Amino acid sequence: MSIDLFKIRSRMPSYNPNSNVNDRARWLPSSNGTYSASSALASLRTPHPFVPWFKLVWFSQNIPRMSFILWVAIRGRLSTWDCIHKYDPMAVTTCVLCNTHPESHAHLFFECLFSRAIWTQLMNICGSPWNGLCWNAFID
């Protein structure tokens, strides 16, 4: 045996197989040794830190399409003109709803005159005054 193999063997715990017992496959990622799809998925996933807006997006009565759009918006990944302008400097960045200000996530959802009018009417229907939230306050 070479010196390297000897070092490796000396660090391994001694194992004496029992020929009277049948071999059994054991799934190590599972606590009970049994394979399940959920334990396989858990072993492949990397844990992500908790985000404070999780329940705002993924609540039990959510509409998946709306939750997805809100999730993309919160992550700043909607194709607003300010994002497109980063890749295409010739792109027009003016908001398509008001044609006066540059379009961004914050402007599109809260700062645009069109969006403000919708929020005001919606809050009036709910019986609550619209206090003019900003994008960051909405997420927090």
Per-residue pLDDT of the chain (140 residues; tens, 9 = 90+): 567 777 777 777 776 777 888 888 888 888 888 999 998 998 898 888 888 888 889 899 999 999 999 999 888 888 888 888 888 888 888 998 999 999 988 898 888 999 999 988 988 998 888 777 777 777 77
Q: Is residue 15 part of a domain?
A: no
**What's the length of the chain?**
140
Q: Is residue 67 part of a domain?
A: yes
Q: Is residue 39 part of a domain?
A: no
Domain count for the chain, please give it. 1
Q: Is residue 12 part of a domain?
A: no
Give the residue among 27, 23, 1, 35 at the shortest CA–CA distance from 15: 23
d(CA 72, CA 128): 27
CA distances from 49 to 53, 68, 116 (A): 12, 19, 33
d(CA 18, CA 38): 32
Q: Is residue 111 part of a domain?
A: yes
Q: Which two tokens stand for residue 26?
A: 């054991």
Q: Is residue 68 part of a domain?
A: yes
Q: Is residue 93 part of a domain?
A: yes
CA distances from 118 to 58, 107, 122, 129, 140 (A): 23, 13, 6, 13, 21
The predicted structure's pLDDT at residue 26: 86
Q: Is residue 82 part of a domain?
A: yes
d(CA 95, CA 81): 8
Quote the domain boundaries for residue 108: 54-139
